[in-house]
Chain A
Amino acid sequence: MSLDERMAALRGRVEPDWNDARAERVFAGVPAQLQRRRTRRIVAAVSLVLMTAGVAVWRGRAAEAPPLVAHGVRRPLVNPRRVDEPRWKRLAERGDWGRAWDVLRESELRDEPGELVLAAEVARRSGHPQDALLPLKLVLDQHASDARAAHAALLLGRVLMEDLSRPRDAALAFAQVRTLAGHAALDEDALAHEAEAWWRAGDIPHATACAREYLRLWPDGAQLGAVRHLNETSR
Chain B
Amino acid sequence: MDRATRLDGVCAALGPRTGSADMAEERISLELIFRRYSRYVAAVALRLLGRDDEIDDVVQEVFLQAVRGLERLREPGAVKGWLATVTVRVARRKLRMRRVRGFFGLDDRPAYAQIATAETPPDERALLARVYTLLDGLTVSERLAWTLRHVEGEKLDAVARICGVSLATAKRRIASAQAKLDKALR
Q: A residues engaging B (CB < 8 A)?
A: 2-4, 6-8, 10-18, 22-23, 25-27, 29-35, 37
Contact = CB atoms under 8 A, between A and B. Distances in A.
B168 interface: no
A29 B60 contact: yes
B87 to A, nearest CB: 12
B31 interface: yes
Contact of B56 (A4, A11, A25, A35): A25
A8 B154 CA distance: 11
A16 B43 contact: yes
Given A11-B153, A22-B56, A31 B3 contact: yes
A10 B124 contact: yes
Interface in B133-155: 150-151, 153
Interface string B1-23: 11101000000000000000000
B52 interface: yes
11 contacts: A2-B182, A8-B153, A10-B120, A10-B151, A16-B43, A18-B39, A30-B64, A31-B2, A31-B3, A33-B60, A37-B64
Q: How large is the interface on B (under 10, 10 to 19, 20 to 34, 35 or more residues)?
A: 35 or more
Given A13-B128, A14-B47, A27-B63, 19 more contacts: A3-B150, A7-B131, A7-B150, A7-B151, A10-B120, A10-B151, A13-B116, A13-B125, A14-B128, A16-B45, A17-B52, A18-B39, A23-B34, A27-B3, A29-B60, A30-B60, A31-B3, A34-B64, A34-B67
